[in-house]
Amino acid sequence: MFKKILIANRGEISVRIIAACREMGIVTVAVYSDVDRAALHVRKSDEAYSIGPAPAAESYLRMDKILDVAKRSGAEAIHPGYGFLSENAKFAQACADAGVKFIGPTPHSMEMMGSKTRARQEMEKAGVPVVPGISRGLISPEEGEEVAARIGYPVMLKAAAGGGGKGMRLVHTSGELRSALESARSEAQRSFGDSEVYIEKAIVNPRHIEMQVLADEHGNTVWLGERECSIQRRHQKVLEEAPSPVVDPDMRRRMGEVAVKVAQAANYTNAGTVEFLVDQQKNFYFLEMNTRLQVEHPVTELTTGLDLVHLQIRIAAGEKLPFTQSDVEMRGHAIECRIYAEDPDNNYFPSPGKITLLLAPSGPGIRRDSGMYEGWSVPMDYDPLLAKLIGYGTDRQQAIMRLQRALGEYFVAGIKTNISLFQRILGDADFREGKLDTGYLDRLLAKGNPEITSDALERDKKALESIAAIAAGMFAVLDPVSPGSKNGDIGGPAAIPSNWKRKGRSETLR
Amino acid sequence: MVYEVMVDGKPHRLELETAAGGWGCRLDGRPIHIDAVITRGDVLSLLVDGHSYEIKREQTANDLYMWVGSTCFAVELRDPRSLRSRNKNAGDEMGARKILAPMPGRIVRLLVAENSEVEAGQGIVVVEAMKMQNEIKSPKKGIVKKISATPGAAVNPGDVLAIVE
């Protein structure tokens, strides 16, 4: 087993990996950029080294600096987390060349899955169901029209090197195809430096369901159940759950077996996720494979009772999987809410800044993976994910109730968060019935804020208004910190809370 | 102790005094039995006729909020005896208002020039953070007296971006 591991990441995932290492008696090495000196992952690690300025391209994406820290600190392995260098085959190769174990798949597997057309070709060869279309770049608009006529509109144009919705175009009629292809190609060229665009049938209102797999370096591969990830916005997942409300044991087994086939076709090792699009008839099609630990891995951990990071480390150290497929059992239901620093009242615009107050929930059935703390300033340079709140229960209903309870206790001041969005989703009738697809969240948000429309809520709010008024007065008496002193007045010094004044006030009251 | 409290723009008169075993409280002339304890900074435990409330106080660069459970109220507190708050009160409606950066970020561009007339809610500057752009708006109708924001510059929360009079 490794004695020391470097974590080439930041934020909540870094903290989560450090926890696993500490549990296993492994010394941890953190890296940090200039704006992350006070970040939680630096506080929690055994060793920490600076790797440069705030922009990720000058710090967390710098392979040379990270490998240099590995060498200096004597780390034997690197866990890349998710994002940053986690799916970079060149980095995995550079680690191998430097004699440091990369905790993840081989560069070869990553390369195969990195190009969507190449992955499609390999999967067709392996007999894995893919969305009807072609598995190479389009040569001309004429070819595109011909294929589209064969598979039927609507069709989707996709960048081979794509991700995050970039270089993707939905085309409804043949008239739109030529200009859509041109704009998809130029966007792909700008975003990925590769203009290859292919075509496949558009699945209308699909679900996005993914299957967790785990493979050791001795040829053993298992699947660990699905995650329903249909609740997305701007191609970013917002809430995930396991199991999916629509997957029955038979479908789960079939999806799992296909996922194992996908992993084996890529000679895959370590933890990976096979993403599927699922249509309204519950046909599932291979979409892509994510060659890393996923943000939403905790819902699988809670429903299988396994620790995926422990297992990743053991696999990377050369151990065999300590169980077989028939040992894997799924129990209960888990739902994850991604807490982002973003403002629900301002179109979910990112909201970095200092956290002035943080009240965090815990208790039965609640897991919280967090990278924030009170007094910390959320930097503006990175992804706005602050923490993940996961509810677990014997069934979906109980998981929802526990999350609603915990979300009510979760309070973050100083910055805006999307906590209120989850109360809306969890209380929504369609969500309760499991009627989900990738358009669900946009439809929910288009409905507008229920607070304005519901009379009952309006009455409740009115009753609470007097509570707010009394509270404001009691705060002023018991804990005066010059409320409103910064309220736009010009020139004057900010009112300094004076102990004399405070004392004087409470004396007058007596 | 008498306060004028504005809650979401609606005025209330709050009278507080110590009484045997708690606080004497009248809200808009109506007596209410309350008990209040600060449990930690910015968190108040308030009992009103036996009902328990946890209230969180949030102060931003510009405003004061009370969170009752998950419901948020914008609050302004005035002590009618205080000259300072009377002056400030006048300033809110008639005087100059600073426009402060609500978050750390970078100035992308200016939307108005100095000395131009603006409406309440009109965009003044665009600030970028976490790869997204945000328009900072004027809190009042008036004239832009000064713009201290320069495109490309980094700003911290509370930094003055402009002054509208």
What CATH number corresponds to the domain at position A84? Answer: 3.40.50.20
User: In this structure, which amino acid lies at residue A167?
Assistant: G
pLDDT above 90 (res B158): no
Give the pLDDT mean for A347-373.
95
Task: Give the model's pLDDT for residue B135.
Answer: 83
pTM of the predicted protein model: 0.85
CB contact under 8 A, B57 and A488: no
Which residues of chain A are within 8 Å of residue B81 when distances are taken between CB atoms? Answer: none
**Domain shared by A12 and A151, yes or no:** no
CB contact under 8 A, B103 and A415: yes
CA atoms lying within 13 Å on the CB side of residue A82: 19
Q: Which of B63, B94, B132, B148 to mutate to test the interface with A (most CBs of A within 10 A)?
A: B132
**Domain shared by B86 and B104, yes or no:** no
3-state secondary structure A266-303: CCCCEEEEEEEEECCCCCEEEEEEECCCCCCHHHHHHH
Please list the residues that pair with A129 across neighbouring strands: none
Whether A119 is covered by a domain: the verdict is: no
Q: Which of B3, B4, B6, B7 to mutate to test the interface with A (most CBs of A within 10 A)?
A: B7
CB contact under 8 A, A472 and B71: no
Q: Which of A113-127, A175-189, A302-316, B35-49 has the highest mean pLDDT?
A: A302-316
Nearest C-alpha in B relative to A507 = B18
Nearest C-alpha in B relative to A464 = B68
Whether A339 is covered by a domain: the verdict is: yes
**Domain shared by B60 and B24, yes or no:** yes
**Domain shared by B47 and B118, yes or no:** no
pLDDT above 60 (res B87): no
Q: Encoding tokens for residue A44?
A: 């929690």
CB contact under 8 A, A483 and B97: no
**Domain shared by B80 and B11, yes or no:** yes
**Domain shared by B6 and B82, yes or no:** yes
Task: Give the model's pLDDT for residue A268.
Answer: 98
pLDDT above 70 (res A363): yes
CATH of the domain at B62: 3.30.700.30
Which residues of chain A are within 8 Å of residue B60 when distances are taken between CB atoms? Answer: 414
- Cβ neighbors of A346 (< 8 A, separation 6 or more) are A416, B134
**Domain shared by B82 and B107, yes or no:** no
Give the pLDDT mean for B71-81.
86
pLDDT above 50 (res B88): no
- Using an 8 Å Cβ cutoff, are A92 and A106 in contact? yes
**What total number of domains does chain B contain?**
2
Whether A457 is covered by a domain: the verdict is: no
Task: Give the model's pLDDT for residue A388.
Answer: 98
Sign of CA dihedral A102, A108, A114, A120: negative
Give the pLDDT mean for A402-426.
96
Phi, psi of B27 (to 5 degrees): -115, 120
Q: Is A292 a catalytic residue?
A: yes
Residue where a domain stops, chosen among B68, B93, B118: B93
Residue where a domain stops, chosen among B46, B67, B93: B93
> Residue with structure tokens 């809190």?
B139
pLDDT above 90 (res A395): yes
Q: Percentage of chain B surpassing pLDDT 90?
A: 45
Whether A109 is covered by a domain: the verdict is: no
Phi, psi of A367 (to 5 degrees): -120, 140
**Domain shared by A382 and A278, yes or no:** yes
Closest approach of chain A CAs to the CA of B136, in angstroms?
11
The catalytic residue among A185, A292, A314, A396 is A292
Q: Encoding tokens for residue A103?
A: 């905790």
CB contact under 8 A, B105 and A352: yes
Closest approach of chain B CAs to the CA of A489, in angstroms?
7
If one counts every other C-beta atom within 10 angstroms of the C-beta of residue A471, the result is: 28
Task: Give the model's pLDDT for residue A447.
Answer: 87
**What total number of domains does chain A contain?**
4
CB contact under 8 A, A379 and B104: yes
Nearest C-alpha in A relative to B86 = A489
Distance (Å) of CA A472 to CA A189, A207, A217, B63: 55, 47, 62, 13
User: In this structure, which amino acid lies at residue A383?
Assistant: D
CATH of the domain at B137: 2.40.50.100
Q: Percentage of chain A surpassing pLDDT 70?
A: 92
**A127 or B156, higher pLDDT:** A127
User: In this structure, which amino acid lies at residue A102?
Assistant: F
Q: Encoding tokens for residue A437?
A: 């697809």
**Domain shared by B85 and B100, yes or no:** no
Full residue range of the structural domain in which residue A22 is found = 4-103
Which residues of chain A are within 8 Å of residue B66 when distances are taken between CB atoms? Answer: 468, 471-472, 475
Q: Which of A179-183, A328-332, B30-34 has the highest mean pLDDT?
A: A328-332
How far is residue A289's CA from residue A212's CA, in Å, rounded to a whole number? 10
Q: Percentage of chain A surpassing pLDDT 90?
A: 82
The beta strands (E) that lie in A316-376 are given as 333-340, 342-343, 349-350, 353-354, 357-359, 366-370
Which residues of chain B are within 8 Å of residue A510 when distances are taken between CB atoms? Answer: 18
**Domain shared by B103 and B67, yes or no:** no
How far is residue A410's CA from residue A362's CA, in Å, rounded to a whole number? 9
CB contact under 8 A, A414 and B58: yes
**Domain shared by A256 and A330, yes or no:** yes
Give the pLDDT mean for A19-40.
98
pLDDT above 80 (res A238): yes
How far is residue A505's CA from residue A250's CA, in Å, rounded to a whole number? 71
Q: How confident is the model at residue A459 (pLDDT cuts 50, 70, 90)?
A: confident
pLDDT digits (tens, 9 = 90+) for A471-493: 999 999 998 875 444 333 333 33
Task: Give the model's pLDDT for residue A67.
Answer: 98
**Domain shared by A180 and A269, yes or no:** no
**Domain shared by B41 and B88, yes or no:** yes
| Mean of pLDDT over chain B | 85
CB-nearest partner of A474 from B36, B64, B67: B36
pLDDT above 90 (res A9): yes
ipTM score: 0.79
Task: Give the model's pLDDT for residue A489.
Answer: 37
Q: How big is the A-B interface in CB pairs under 8 Å?
A: 190
| B157 near A CB under 8 A | yes
User: In this structure, which amino acid lies at residue A130?
Assistant: V
**Domain shared by A235 and A357, yes or no:** yes
3-state secondary structure A144-211: HHHHHHHHCCCEEEEECCCCCCCCCEEECCHHHHHHHHHHHHHHHHHHHCCCCEEEEECCCCCEEEEE
* A197-206, A434-443, B127-136: segment of lowest average pLDDT: B127-136
- Using an 8 Å Cβ cutoff, are B68 and B55 in contact? yes
pLDDT above 70 (res A510): no
**Domain shared by A319 and A420, yes or no:** yes
Residue burial A298-327, b: 16+ Cβ < 10 Å; e: rest: bbbbbbbebbbbebbbbbbbeeebeeeeee
Which residues of chain B are within 8 Å of residue A380 when distances are taken between CB atoms? Answer: 103-106, 129-130
Distance (Å) of CA A302 to CA A14, A220, A308, A322, A491: 19, 22, 10, 18, 55
Which residues of chain B are within 8 Å of residue A474 when distances are taken between CB atoms? Answer: 16, 23, 34, 36, 44, 46
Task: Give the model's pLDDT for residue A164.
Answer: 67
Which residues of chain A are within 8 Å of residue B132 when distances are taken between CB atoms? Answer: 349-350
How far is residue A119's CA from residue A429's CA, in Å, rounded to a whole number? 38
**Domain shared by A392 and A474, yes or no:** no
**Domain shared by B82 and B154, yes or no:** no
Q: Encoding tokens for residue A378?
A: 């959320």
CA atoms lying within 13 Å on the CB side of residue A97: 11
- Which run of H or E residues covers position A460? helix A455-478
pLDDT above 70 (res A196): yes
Whether A477 is covered by a domain: the verdict is: yes
**Domain shared by A250 and A386, yes or no:** yes
How many degrees, rounded to 5, is the angle at CA A320 between CA A319 and CA A323?
Answer: 130
pLDDT above 70 (res B91): no
pLDDT above 90 (res B70): no
pLDDT digits (tens, 9 = 90+) for A262-293: 999 999 999 999 999 999 999 999 999 999 99
**Domain shared by B7 and B87, yes or no:** yes
Q: How confident is the model at residue A494 (pLDDT cuts 50, 70, 90)?
A: very low
What is the maximum alpha-carbon separation in chain B?
59
Residue where a domain stops, chosen among B93, B126, B145: B93
Which residues of chain A are within 8 Å of residue B63 when distances are taken between CB atoms? Answer: 484, 487
**Domain shared by B160 and B118, yes or no:** yes
Full residue range of the structural domain in which residue B7 is found = 2-93
Report B:64-123 residues touching A (Cβ under 8 A): 64, 66-71, 73, 75-77, 79, 84, 88, 91-92, 95-98, 100, 102-106
Whether A187 is covered by a domain: the verdict is: yes
Phi, psi of A261 (to 5 degrees): -60, -40
**Domain shared by A187 and A313, yes or no:** no
Distance (Å) of CA A378 to CA A7, A227, A323, A382, A414: 20, 29, 41, 9, 10
CB-nearest partner of A357 from B18, B56, B131: B56
Q: How confident is the model at residue A82 (pLDDT cuts 50, 70, 90)?
A: very high
CB contact under 8 A, A487 and B75: no
